[in-house]
Copies of this chain bind each other. A is one copy, B any other.
Amino acid sequence: MDSEKAFLASYRLSDYERPSVTADVAAFRIGNEDSPSYRKNPENKLQLLLIRRGGHPFKGMWALPGGFLQKGETLEQCALREIREETNVLPVSIMPVGVFSEPDRDPRGWIISGAYVSIISEESVRQIGQDDADDAQWFSVSFDGGGQNVFSLTLTHGSTVLSAKLAEESPGFGRPRFRILDSGRLAFDHAAIIASALSVLRAEAKNYEAIFDFLPETFTLSALQRVQETIMNISVLPANFRRMVSGYVEETDEYQRGNGHRPAKLYRRRTQHPV
């Protein structure tokens, strides 16, 4: 016992060389497009928060929000703190994506990054309002596997279009990894991180678990359906969607009226799943 105390007292971690560690966060929200007709429901778009880098390296290019892990916090807490500092919102959900540790991924030196997906709800987005600076913006996401293992990732904000190309490595094994063919003017290896984050988000959206976090506490089933369709880039028949989520939601007494069609009952998430 005493020998262990003595050992720990004399132990010096500084004998080993250590990397710097950062957490990077891919924060997604569902953005609304204005509808063409007054009675049509809004079209949804999956959007990603990017920050324009003010300093070197990659100055002026777009990057994921993130920052260095500080003593006394976990990597998850670091990710939450960073997204909070950028959006002034504590996300409902945060999910790990993976560790990115290529030795040359950061020109500043030996810096490895733990990546996370976070989900920003519609309510939170409204609270944020428009950021005063133009260095943090929501980009509309398009991510499609053209053919085989090659994916193209396109991020659009106004006239700014970032277009990256990636190859999926060892498909079908654990979490997918991507190799960057063209970084599309994204900083660091963030194109690969975003691609992995999208894969995680899509896989999670399949289980009707993460999708609730994009919406306010009460929502219509068609809004919920649009969220899932937007994330996964699929389309489902409303009748079937209702049947499939029926176990995850419960009715409220409220209705959403005032659109040019039949009012929709508002639902809330059911915490206790049924058999």
Chain A residues packing against B (C-beta within 8 Å): 3-4, 7-8, 11, 13, 16-21, 55-57, 59, 68-76, 93, 95-96, 98-99, 101-103, 107-112, 114, 172-175, 200, 204, 207, 209-210
Contacts and interface: CB of A to CB of B under 8 A. Distances in A.
A102 to B, nearest CB: 6
A174 B21 contact: no
Contacts of A102: 74
The binding surface of chain A is classed by DSSP as loop
A39 B225 CA distance: 55
A113 B210 CA distance: 26
30 contacts: A4-B57, A7-B56, A7-B57, A8-B56, A8-B57, A8-B108, A11-B56, A11-B108, A11-B109, A13-B108, A13-B110, A17-B71, A18-B20, A19-B21, A19-B69, A21-B112, A69-B112, A74-B102, A74-B103, A75-B99, A93-B173, A95-B173, A95-B175, A96-B99, A96-B174, A99-B99, A99-B114, A172-B207, A172-B209, A174-B200
Given A20-B13, A57-B8, A75 B175 contact: no
**How many copies of this kind of chain does the complex include?**
2
Contact of A75 (B76, B95, B112): B112
Contact of A103 (B7, B72, B103): B72
Contacts of A19: 18, 21, 69, 71
A15 B224 CA distance: 47
